[in-house]
Homo-oligomer: A and B are copies of this chain.
């Protein structure tokens, strides 16, 4: 009976592989039962599913290296997976692959407060880092909305952002060094214990490479001193334009808030329906959340100036909070915005595009136009300070054709972003979701150059194949529909 549940399709090939993997990682570290493999069929981009051939759960660098080497020697594609919360299908398995999951790599390896750094295994959850050092007056800055469930390894792969990245930058600005298993199974160290290292910046190259260059097994992160004072300001506006003008005003006044977020009326009402913060006025066309941090005098002065700028831009009400409890309450709705969209609509499709901050208002108008034309409601929540938009397209997957229409609408929004001088992705990554759109931004020579770099690490193409870069096989249809420039050459990646 038990045998029926084992992964069998090509047993002749797999049995020796399974033996080798079990010898390296232990029997309990190799998942092969169909029903257990189900969990791993997709990541946060749940619209695509693919069962892996096997899942391995290593605990150490050596075990990861062994698994990768076995794949390399046997020409088996492999995909790395952290907590599986990614939104671009970066951890989506490919056919007949080994999925290397870091869920058991949850050790904090070193805390060096004097030098403001911490070294962790990749399976550590994002906000555990802050928890580990907050008692000593430190924190880890990048804070994706999923920070209570997403892992550092996934953050490194996707170069994750968050609401506090306006002042402090995204993941790449906080990774000092990495221990990596590259696709031939070798272990290399890139970066180090100090920020500036000679040689090529392979740390920076690896962060955001979405599992195509290898797998990080140790991550050294920069931690920051907890600011003396933190203040959140909530302002409501009669129009998105006014909120956008306030953002421009704050930036040009030379104030750099820790974060600066806008939510539109639809999002405001969605979160009030679901989490009932009681702080977000339901009749406001937009709210702006600004977080300031620093010395007490600096925060107080910043708050005064921001209040002035908001008022000049027609803000009706201003609330602010310095104590942790009220600050969390003000942030609660923003942090719950995606989940709330899931409550007011059967399904939602979240887009992640970037535009120059100065184009906020004009691009949002265009998104509204697309919403009206298509008949799909779009809720807007975004990192206004860095122009990172997160339009949430509301739809119903059970209605035939809606998903396809919404996917197309998402593509049109991306096109708007790129045409405004922006980018396909701010923080969710390209993965298998947006690889066909890469030619929006990069010409053939640009993509070829990235391909050379990929091949330098991953010359057999076994590490996360088909992700991040367009392939004629997967992107042919999009190209034929005229949505992107067709790829002429043979499969580049």
Residue-by-residue, is A273-305 near B (CB-CB < 8 Å gives 1, otherwise 0)? 000000000000000000000111110111000
- Provide the bound-state CA to CA distance between A65 and B225, in Å: 47
A218 contacts B by Cβ under 8 Å? no
Q: Is the CB of B452 within 8 A of A457?
A: yes
Cβ proximity bits A187-215 to B, threshold 8 Å, 1 near / 0 not: 11110111111111110110111000000
Report the separation of the CA atoms of residues A300 and B300 in the bound assembly, to the nearest whole angstrom: 14
Q: Are A188 and B446 in contact (CB under 8 A)?
A: yes
Chain B neighbourhood of A204, CB < 8 A: 172, 201, 204-205
Min distance, Cβ A306 to any Cβ of chain B, angstroms: 12
Question: Nearest Cβ distance between residue A295 and chain B, in whole angstroms?
Answer: 5
With known contacts A298-B294, A422-B194, A423-B192, A200–B453 Cβ distance under 8 A = yes
State whether A438 touches B297 (Cβ < 8 A).
Answer: no
Q: How far is the CB of A307 from chain B (nearest CB, A)?
A: 15
Q: Which residues of B contact A300 (CB under 8 A)?
A: 297
Closest to A172 in B: B201
User: Min CB distance, A141 to chain B, in Å?
Assistant: 13
B358 touches A115 (CB 8 A): yes
A415 at the interface (CB under 8 A from B): no
Interface mask (A357-372 → B, CB under 8 Å = 1, otherwise 0): 1100000000000000
> Is the beta-carbon distance between A354 and B196 smaller than 8 angstroms?
yes
Q: Output the least CB separation between A395 and chain B (Å).
A: 25
Docked Cα-Cα span, A254 to B173, in Å, equals 18
B202 and A228 contacting across the interface, CB-CB below 8 Å = no
Q: Which 6 A-B pairs have the closest CB atoms?
A: A204-B204, A298-B298, A452-B456, A225-B254, A297-B297, A456-B456
**22 A-B interface contacts by CB (under 8 A):** A114-B357, A115-B358, A161-B196, A182-B449, A189-B442, A196-B354, A197-B441, A198-B423, A198-B430, A198-B468, A202-B205, A205-B205, A205-B453, A225-B252, A295-B298, A295-B301, A296-B301, A297-B298, A297-B300, A298-B301, A449-B457, A453-B456
